[in-house]
Homo-oligomer: A and B are copies of this chain.
Amino acid sequence: MLSSLFNPKNVAVIGASSKELSIGNRIIKNLVEFGFKGGIFPINPKAPEIRGVKAYKSILDLPPNGGIDVVHLVIPAKFSPMAFEDCGKMKVKNIIINSGGFSETGPEGEEIEKTCMEIARKYGIRVFGPNCQGIINTDPESRAYCNFTFTVPETGYVSLVSLSGGVAEMIHQEFTEMQVGTRLFASNGNAIDVTIPEIIEYMGEDKGTRVIVTYVEGLRDARRFLEVAKTVAARKPILAMKAGRTKEGAKAAASHTGGLAKEDIFTDLIFKKAGVLSFTDEGELIRAAAAFSTQPIPKGNRVGIITNTGGPAVISTDVMIKGGLELPPLSEKTKETLKQTLLPEASVRNPVDLLATATGAHFRSALDALMDDDNFDSIMIHFVTPFFVDNVNIAREIADVSRKQIKPIICNLMTDKSRTEEVVAILKDGGVPCFNLPSDAGHAMNSMVAYQNMRSRKTGSVKIFKDVGKDKARQILLKAKTAGHENLSAEEVHGILEAYNIPVARCAVAPTADEAVKTAANIGYPVVVKAESREIIHKSDAGGVALGLHTESAVRKAIERMQSRIHAKDLRFFVQQFQGSGLEVIMGAKAEDGLGHMLMFGLGGIYVEILKDVTFELAPLSDVEASEMIGGIKGSPLLTGVRGQPGVDVPALQNVLRRLSQLVTDLPEIKEMDLNPIIAYEDRVCVVDARINI
């Protein structure tokens, strides 16, 4: 674990400098001014002290077994290996390489990185960075500001991790501006050793961390991220933002990280599967974190609004309703109570409008009533501070109720902060998350409910079908692979589908017209005949497809026509049972680097091509996920039946989708696989065409 990194006994800075505007000086300054509880050891060959702290000529001059848990390296990259050796000798546990000049600059820097890592492994040193800002731990027992940035955080409950120093710092500043306290901060730049998943795991264990915030431009180790995030997110919220979502954004990201941003859908699926809350707006993320950091998680989506001004409640209502939240009516008991306690003109419904003249007692009475009312899981307050009431008293009542931590409270505080400092301070002290704008408050509430929904959602279980011929399918694949084929033949594809008990239209391959006629009789008319040859790619363009053949002579004629058009040596004829008209759907699977396959489901034809009405999920699919994928398309009423139409066999579709999931999970060699189309009928489904690419 990273305990010695985030809670170092002593910190040394190799490259500590007397020059005020240098990083080697700034780190000493930050450690001193933030009140680091451990020892600070500037290493500088010349200066006797840095910022009033005794300096040493070399790290080797420090007392042996001095418990140097963290060493900052602020020296040119080429000197790093030497410093690593020295650190190893001194039993240093972690090295934060703040300097750049490593892999981000090219092969030479990459070589130095490798050398450093070899030395680190030899001595058991963990490496943070290089090309990074470092860490901060605001724990009063530690106060470790091992970082050269300029944000001075308050002690709090939000922990923040990001490769990108610029974004980490930007988010951190906003927390500071909003007076939201930080617990741990970690920005690890090139991240050659200590990774984001490892840091998230640590933050998950850290008792002082209530919410974890992360920013990514791509996921380097998707599988590890998924595993860690899943475990942690079950205990505390992880809020993530993935940028580089547009082609241009990804390019901008690539140009400053040297990496290529991963496809979006993929990251989103990982976030979803892990239970990570995904944000596309950093402001929403920051404000949600503020809410999570001091308020309990709501048990459900039912919000009660208390306001002393009308319009802002309307705005937040719009935001929350669009976010899937509910605004139930007040219980009869609450109504009775509030009719007694509020101003006579007050609006005793949800939103409860106390009126601008409401006092602290009115606020308190409404808060108590809604806290006690089982109709509500959380409370949104809109609080404007008119000059003619005692706003300090109102703030005290809100803060007092918030401290009980019964149901979450989020407050839209509308005030001139420079004139109501006491109000602001009281609410902050009571842990009431305050936002200037009603939409911002609404989105923060939506995020809290989204986390609860995510945490409590039924994810189902991945059921393994026993009636599959995994070995048989693997053999077909291996044979194709050995033969150097990338695209499997129709025969091979059918063999694999049959092995997994996926219903396919009956078929067989015939070398001649005579054989084809026999086969057709066997399968039963009407049939389809398709030319089969490795030389032709687009069968219909080559005139290699004949549909709806009802008779022997039709089959013979079709084959004659194909023979006259297609002069391939390996020409054979694929005879398949002709399917009547039904609803066309498609399924697909695509291998993703390092994390199995992404599955796709949609309606066929123009629905997928024009309306892009498709859903995605990561394999292996649980029963719930399969059902959600099929029910998740906009056109799903077509599946369940619409305008008196009967609908199709949805359970059979789920069955095929789950078998496909098992198939690609069993056979990771499959790069891409399509079942297109699958014809769905009222009582069955049938794959008509399929493609496998290895």
Contacts and interface: CB of A to CB of B under 8 A. Distances in A.
Interface string A633-645: 0110110001100
Contact of A387 (B21, B162, B166, B176): B21
A687 to B, nearest CB: 21
Closest 6 CB pairs of A and B: A256-B310, A166-B309, A167-B311, A164-B311, A246-B321, A249-B318
A385 B349 contact: no
Nearest to A612: B634
A26 B314 contact: no
A606 B605 CA distance: 15
A102 to B, nearest CB: 13
A124 interface: no
A243 B97 CA distance: 51
Contact of A386 (B150, B173, B241): B150
B252 A351 contact: yes
A317 interface: yes
Contacts of A243: 311, 314-315, 318
Given A166-B311, A311-B217, A321 B249 contact: yes
A225 to B, nearest CB: 18
Contacts of A247: 321
Given A248-B317, A282-B437, A311-B217, A416 B150 contact: yes
Interface string A194-213: 00000000000000000000
Interface in A374-418: 382, 384-389, 414-417
A245 B322 CA distance: 9
Contact of A437 (B166, B174, B257, B439): B174
Nearest to A242: B318
A327 interface: yes
Interface in A516-549: none
A244 interface: yes
A347 to B, nearest CB: 6
B314 A217 contact: yes
A61 interface: no
Interface residues of A, number: 86
A610 interface: yes
A468 to B, nearest CB: 35
Interface of A: 21-23, 26, 105, 148, 150-152, 162, 164-167, 169-170, 173-174, 176-177, 215, 217, 241, 243-249, 252-253, 255-257, 280-283, 286, 305, 309-315, 317-318, 321-322, 327, 345, 347, 349, 351, 353, 382, 384-389, 414-417, 419, 436-440, 606, 609-611, 613, 634-635, 637-638, 642-643
Contacts of A23: 388
Contact of A439 (B148, B176, B281): B281
16 contacts: A21-B389, A22-B388, A26-B388, A105-B345, A152-B416, A170-B384, A243-B315, A244-B314, A246-B317, A248-B318, A252-B327, A253-B311, A253-B314, A283-B437, A606-B637, A611-B634
Contacts of A257: 310
B314 A387 contact: no
A514 to B, nearest CB: 35
A387 to B, nearest CB: 5
Contacts of A167: 311-312, 315
Contacts of A321: 246-249
Given A256-B314, A312-B170, A610-B635, A282 B642 contact: no
B215 A311 contact: yes
A283 B281 CA distance: 13
A611 to B, nearest CB: 6
A625 to B, nearest CB: 23
Given A21-B388, A166-B414, 17 more contacts: A152-B416, A165-B309, A167-B311, A167-B315, A169-B414, A170-B414, A173-B416, A177-B416, A215-B311, A217-B314, A244-B318, A246-B322, A249-B314, A252-B351, A280-B318, A283-B283, A609-B642
A393 to B, nearest CB: 13
Contacts of A245: 318, 322
B317 A282 contact: no
A283 B439 contact: yes
A414 B606 contact: no
Q: Which of A282, A317, A386, A416 has the most CB atoms of chain B within a 10 A radius of its CB?
A: A317
A76 to B, nearest CB: 14
A438 B318 contact: no
A633 B671 CA distance: 35
A642 B610 contact: yes
Contacts of A317: 246, 248-249, 252
A313 to B, nearest CB: 6
Contact of A282 (B177, B315, B347): B315
B173 A436 contact: yes
Contacts of A611: 611, 613, 634-635
Contacts of A166: 309-312, 382, 384, 414
Given A164-B311, A256-B347, A314-B217, A439 B282 contact: yes
B386 A438 contact: no
A424 to B, nearest CB: 12
